[in-house]
Homo-oligomer: A and B are copies of this chain.
Amino acid sequence: MRGTNEPNIIGNELKYISKSIKNNEIAVGRNLFLFEKKLKKNLKAKHLVLCSSGTAALQVALRAIGLKRNDEVIVPSFTFIATINSVIYNNCQPIFMDCDEYCNINVDKVLEFLKNNTFKKGNYTFNKKTKKRIYAIVLVHVWGGLVNIDKLKEICKLRNIKIVEDATESVGAKYIKGYSKNKYAGTVGDMGCLSFNGNKIITSGGGGAIITSSKKLAIKAKYLINQATDDGFSYIHKEVGFNYRMSNIHASIGLAQLEKINFFIKRKKTIHEFYKKKFLKCKNVEILSFPRYSKNNFWQTTLLVKNKNHIKKIQLIKSNLEKKGFLIRKAWLPCHLQNPYKNFETYKITNSETISSKLICLPCGTSLKSKDLNVISKVILNCIDE
């Protein structure tokens, strides 16, 4: 069975691993340094810290940036649950926001919420309702497109709300318009988080990275992922840290994958355009568009079922595609509707709930052939037009 986003190992992965093994560099070693260095260069990032997963990156970024227990964090409801878990790991509370047409956080609603439902006191912004400090906002660049960030960045600066970018799905995407022009996902906010999970645009087998332009924050993040070790000889730990290092073997894979990132993005775009064309004439479905202000990485192409009556066909599509050997996934159930997060604050969420049930994540691994894409499209069209 082919998943929606399988790894595509076509470069120097084995070569770099072999060398690491020959040098006895398994957990630690030079490829960690190399992957970090090349990734930094590739994304024009000032500082970058590799870690064990995108989730770990989010947890540590929020902690490093100064989030304190019981602070509140503005988050999109429409995201993978790990985004919200990272807030909870820090013993803080999420405030859920709606999504826009690209499934990114609805910036206008966030600005409206900040204007009407919060106040500034001293150097910080507080929630009128709970009186708690709102210290950060997590912006998730959903499926390879980017959040429309300029206005939000301006207001967050005035309000001293730290921006943490969840760029786990959008590694390599960049802005092509506005103040953030030519900046890559993860390098625009105060901190950025990447993922190299097996299903991502490039994988390290499992891994992530924390990006920041602040040397101090980078040092802090590196300290935290290394069990907060102040002195390795005497085992002194001044804080509660984590075991979130990336292994040198995983870094070897990441290093090889990074060399192919432009090819992967190009291939993802081709797959997106292929599907777009295939479903262009079908009035019941359409391929969800990516933003125009960014050069997206097109990581996940999704199909929107326009007519409510056709939603029930998603199960049929699923089983018919499985017969052909392909897996699909639904879009996320919005996080404010997930069991652990039902009792947290939400702000005017409408689109997030409606769109969630209407979307299908299509198979779009970069190793899929045109033949595969044709089969997939045909199965779906047959189900929908039935």
Contact surface of A with B, Cβ cutoff 8 Å:
6-9, 13-14, 17-18, 21, 24, 26-28, 52-56, 80-82, 85, 88-89, 91, 197-199, 203, 205-206, 227-228, 232-243, 245-250, 253, 318, 329-333, 338-340, 367
Q: Which residue of B lies closest to A238 (CB)?
A: B339
**A81, A237, A238: residue with the most chain B Cβ atoms closer than 10 Å:** A237
A108 vs B238: C-alpha distance when bound (angstroms): 30
Q: Within the assembled complex, what's the spacing in Å between the Cα atoms of A7 and B14?
A: 19
Query: Nearest residue in B to A197 (C-beta to C-beta)?
Result: B27
Are B27 and A9 neighbours in the complex by a CB distance under 8 Å? no
B53→A243 contact, CB < 8 A: yes
Residues of the B chain whose Cβ atoms lie less than 8 Å from the Cβ of A197: 27, 243
Q: A52–B55 contact, CB under 8 A?
A: no
Copy total for this chain: 2
Asked if A339 and B239 make an inter-chain contact with CB atoms under 8 angstroms apart, the answer reads yes
In-complex Cβ contact of A249 among B205, B240, B329 (8 A) = B205
Give chain B residues whose Cβ lies under 8 Å from the Cβ of A239: 339-340
The listed residue (B14, B237, B245) touching A21 by CB distance below 8 A is: B14
A329 touches B14 (CB 8 A): no
Q: How far is the CB of A207 from chain B (nearest CB, A)?
A: 9
Beta-carbon contact of B333 and A234 below 8 Å: yes
**A196: nearest chain-B partner, CB-CB:** B27
CA separation between A318 and B234, bound complex, in Å? 11
- Chain B residues, CB < 8 A from A240: 85, 88, 340
Knowing A24-B7, A27-B205, A243-B82 are in contact, say whether A338-B250 is a contact too (CB < 8 A). Answer: no
Query: How many Å from the CB of A37 to the closest CB on chain B?
Result: 20
Residues of chain B with a CB closer than 8 A to A206's CB: 27, 52, 245-247, 250
Residue of B at shortest CB range from A203? Answer: B26
A339 contact set on B, CB distance < 8 A: 237-239
